[in-house]
Amino acid sequence: MEHLMIIGIIAIGLLAGFFSGMLGIGGGLLMVPFLSLIAGIPVSEARAPSLFAIMVNTPVGIYKYSRHGNVQWKAGLILGLFGIAGVVAANFADAALAKRFSVDYESILSVSFAILMAYTAVRMLVRFDSKPHKERLYFFPLIGFGAGFLAKFLGIGGGGIIVPSLALIGIPIHNAVATSLVAVFMNGTFSTVVNLTAGHDWIWLGIALGIGAIAGAPIGVTVAKKTKPHMLRRIFGVFMLVVAARMALSAFL
């Protein structure tokens, strides 16, 4: 990779790591489309390095949030275990779809990504009230499986699904963000192991992303603890809508 390209990829990782720590997402929602739109890397090839960066940067956020008592470990582990089941299911679905839709597969992935980003953006723009709650463990397997499926299929950590879902069932937003990172780490790690069995040509790209993401994650956590959450969500939601629109257009241009 050329020096400017490496710097650009590290910068993408830094931005993704910042939002990972701030919003409880793995960062794949930013890394995959940015690698595609800015670096010209096909979505299908951007997924593996994105998941590697998610694996190495999320422990930073987990550690910092755990010091404030925001991580709900039981919920995070349930989400993560069912997320791994979703990763396995997505691995089979990915192979089947790639074979059946070989010509239009990149467009399918781009549109899928745009839909997910638009959904997440809307959920971020809606204000969630942090109400007292009881742990609704029966929701977690479904949320975890869906997040894991999307993690492997789209190269994300799944936090874009987990955080809004947890907030919707009444978990305070800072706890939702912190707990999401546990599941995102498990999804990213398992997906990376699966990807490594198929080859590792992408590893240097993943390392460059990971370096930036590790640097950005603690900054994101610090900002999240000091800034009003609803303002951060609104800014990020608008940003994601713009990127979603660009991703959707790229599939047809």
Which of the four pLDDT bands, split at 50, 70 and 90, describes residue 253?
A: low
Percent residues over pLDDT 70 in the chain: 89
State residue 214's pLDDT score.
94
Of 53-62, 83-92, 133-142, 180-189, the poorest mean pLDDT is in: 133-142
State residue 154's pLDDT score.
73
Q: How many domains does the chain have?
A: 1
State residue 83's pLDDT score.
92
Which of the four pLDDT bands, split at 50, 70 and 90, describes residue 243?
A: confident
The label of the residue with tokens 């490496």 reads: 6
Say if residues 199 and 246 touch (Cβ distance below 8 Å).
no
**Helices in the chain by DSSP H: which ranges?**
3-23, 28-37, 43-66, 73-100, 105-125, 140-154, 159-168, 173-197, 203-226, 229-250
State residue 106's pLDDT score.
64
For residue 199, give the amino acid letter.
Answer: G
Q: Between 103 and 242, whose confidence is greater?
A: 242
Q: Which of 1, 23, 3, 4 is nearest to 157 (CA)?
A: 23
Q: Which two tokens stand for residue 19?
A: 């939002």
Which of the four pLDDT bands, split at 50, 70 and 90, describes residue 101?
A: low
Statement: residue 78 has pLDDT above 80: yes
Q: Which of 23, 248, 43, 61 is nearest to 155 (CA)?
A: 43
Q: Between 253 and 8, whose confidence is greater?
A: 8
pTM, full prediction: 0.80
Q: Which of 120, 97, 118, 91 is nearest to 109 (CA)?
A: 97
State residue 42's pLDDT score.
84
Our CA dihedral for 62, 21, 33, 206, rounded to 10 degrees, sits at -50
For residue 241, give the amino acid letter.
Answer: L
- Most confidently modeled range among 31-40, 113-122, 148-157: 31-40
* Range(s) of the domain holding residue 44: 3-250
Phi-psi sector, 30: left (phi>0), alpha (psi -120 to 50), beta: alpha
pLDDT average, residue stretch 232-246: 76
Residues 39, 213, 16, 137, CA torsion sign:
positive
